[in-house]
Amino acid sequence: MPDELTPTAPAPERCDLAVVGGGIVGLAVARELLARKPGASVCVLEREDDIATHQTGHNSGVIHAGVYYQPGSLKARLCVEGARDLYAYCEQRGIPTQRCGKVIVATDPSELERLEELERRGHANGVEGLRRIDAAGIEELEPHARGIAGLHSPGTGIADFPAVARSYAEDIVTAGGSVTSGCEVTGVQRAGRALRLAHSHGTTEAANAIFCAGAWADRLAVSAGADADPRIVPFRGAYLRLVPEKRDLVRSLIYPVPDPALPFLGVHLTRHIGGEVLIGPTALMAGARDAYRLSTVRRRDVIDTLVWPGTWRMLARWWSTGVTELRHAAIRSAFVRAAARYVPGLTVDDVEPSFAGVRAQALGRDGKLVDDFVFSHTERALHVRNAPSPAATSSLAIARHVVEEATRAFDV
Ligand SMILES: Cc1cc2nc3c(=O)[nH]c(=O)nc-3n(C[C@H](O)[C@H](O)[C@H](O)COP(=O)(O)OP(=O)(O)OC[C@H]3O[C@@H](n4cnc5c(N)ncnc54)[C@H](O)[C@@H]3O)c2cc1C
């Protein structure tokens, strides 16, 4: 987190467009709109005292290349475009990135079919430089990793997403927009030819609004008249980190072959832009949408999760994965063993606790964890209903997509 808060402005009484949520997606959307409509009055309303404090500030920091995603999906297209644009943006603004590359490692013959499918998807999605490697190829790239086959994606990299978000906020202010923090939007009402947003500073009447509220997206959408499906269910992702003297166990980014039926990528080892090496994240259903501590439990969040029929359908299908995740969360040696499968030299003495993030994962009434990005609209408003990983990578491309959708829906 930065030492200084991003400056905040008073919330306007009226504006052309209000963006709710000052994470990387909301800020990218406001920035894109101002770039297309110079002179429009655009405000960002963020409930916390600073921008980028939720998912944007608590993640693996990886610029994904687009390997995993179903060809033709929004994730596939917006990740590939978004990564390209993000590298260019960061270079232009002097924000450090490293195109350090990533290795996906199969350790067991049962994973080879899935590795092949990832290769097929990566090529179909246009991921540049993606190639199959053998055991020796893995060791050449990552001397401490072991596997029977792998994929190398040289274009995958790392970035400081909070720094990117702060830069987007500066662009907004430079273009005449405003960012108001400490301003929680609590209700949405139609008011003639506008929307009235009630918030902790009073009200803002906006001709249109775009909601990019991450873990709270479903509540604001329902308040604006949208369907309750899908609901956000928080999944806590805790990280360990390598002690400084063991950081050379990992050169860049090492990932396992994920289960294609789940939207999570498995416990990975990732070098951060600051030099730390993270191990994680876990994926454990949490008792609060801001459960950065395991002990944080909020009554409303728990009730919302438990009364959702999709929760029980999901648990019926994934209970054994849930038990594994619980073990990873509770027993550090089990967590380390998951990563030691492909970096065998790793031991529990090489790690120490690090931070946790909370994924805003949309869960359908049918019990399916929604994989793709989801956008929907209500009158005069567009809602980002599911923007999990790789939405930080994809933020500039998501912003273009959202502004185009909004233009079609209500001529923003
Ligand atoms: C553990 C973890 C690892 C990840 N790793 C990666 C990765 O390596 N690469 C990648 O590309 N992506 C990754 N992601 C995903 C990425 O972090 C998110 O997709 C992205 O940050 C989503 O941005 P956002 O702006 O939608 O959400 P957020 O950053 O969560 O922002 C939403 C904002 O809305 C605000 N808000 C909510 N309700 C209100 C309200 N009522 N009024 C006003 N404001 C409100 C919140 O305070 C918050 O600031 C990871 C996520 C997690 C959790």
Give me the pLDDT at residue 2, please. 54
Residues 240-251 have a mean pLDDT of 97
Backbone φ and ψ for 9, nearest 5 degrees, come out as -115, 160
CA angle at residue 73 from 158 to 225, to 5 degrees? 100
Q: Compute the distance from residue 246 Cα to the ligand 1 centre, in Å.
A: 30
User: Which ligand 1 atom minimizes the distance to the CA of 184?
Assistant: 42
Give me the pLDDT at residue 352, please. 96
Give yes or no for residue 297 having a pLDDT over 60.
yes
Give me the pLDDT at residue 3, please. 59
Give me the pLDDT at residue 264, please. 82
Query: Which of 158, 389, 395 has the most ligand 1 atoms within 8 A of CB, as the residue to mutate?
Result: 389
pTM above 0.85, yes or no: yes
pLDDT in tens, 363-406: 999 999 999 999 999 999 999 999 999 999 999 999 999 999 99
Q: Compute the distance from residue 389 Cα to the ligand 1 centre, in Å.
A: 9
Indicate the range of 99-103, 119-123, 312-316, 384-388 predicted with least confidence: 312-316
Give yes or no for residue 1 having a pLDDT over 60.
no
pLDDT in tens, 321-365: 877 877 787 788 889 999 999 999 999 999 999 999 999 999 999
User: Which ligand 1 atom minimizes the distance to the CA of 28?
Assistant: 25
Give yes or no for residue 4 having a pLDDT over 90.
no
Give me the pLDDT at residue 329, please. 78
A 10 A CB-CB count for 411 gives 8
Which pair of tokens denotes residue 399? Answer: 């912003």
Give me the pLDDT at residue 262, please. 79
Give me the pLDDT at residue 111, please. 96
Q: Which residues lie closer than 8 Å to 146 by C-beta, 6 or more apart?
A: 105, 107, 135, 138, 139, 342, 343, 344
Q: Compute the distance from residue 26 Cα to the ligand 1 centre, in Å.
A: 9
Q: Compute the distance from residue 234 Cα to the ligand 1 centre, in Å.
A: 11
Exposed / middle / buried, residue 201 (Cβ in 10 Å: 0-12, 13-18, 19+): middle
Residues 2-6 have a mean pLDDT of 68
For residues 79 and 372, what is the distance between their CA atoms, to the nearest angstrom?
11
User: Which ligand 1 atom minimizes the distance to the CA of 388?
Assistant: 19
Average pLDDT, the chain: 95
Ligand 1 is surrounded, with C-beta below 6 A, by: 20-26, 45-48, 53-56, 58-62, 64, 184-185, 212-216, 220, 237, 281, 357-360, 387-393
Nearest Cα residue to 40 out of 407, 409, 408: 407
Q: Whose CA is nearest to atom 33 of ligand 1?
A: 21
Give yes or no for residue 24 having a pLDDT over 70.
yes
For residues 276 and 270, what is the distance between their CA atoms, to the nearest angstrom?
8
User: Which ligand 1 atom minimizes the distance to the CA of 393?
Assistant: 11
Q: Compute the distance from residue 24 Cα to the ligand 1 centre, in Å.
A: 7
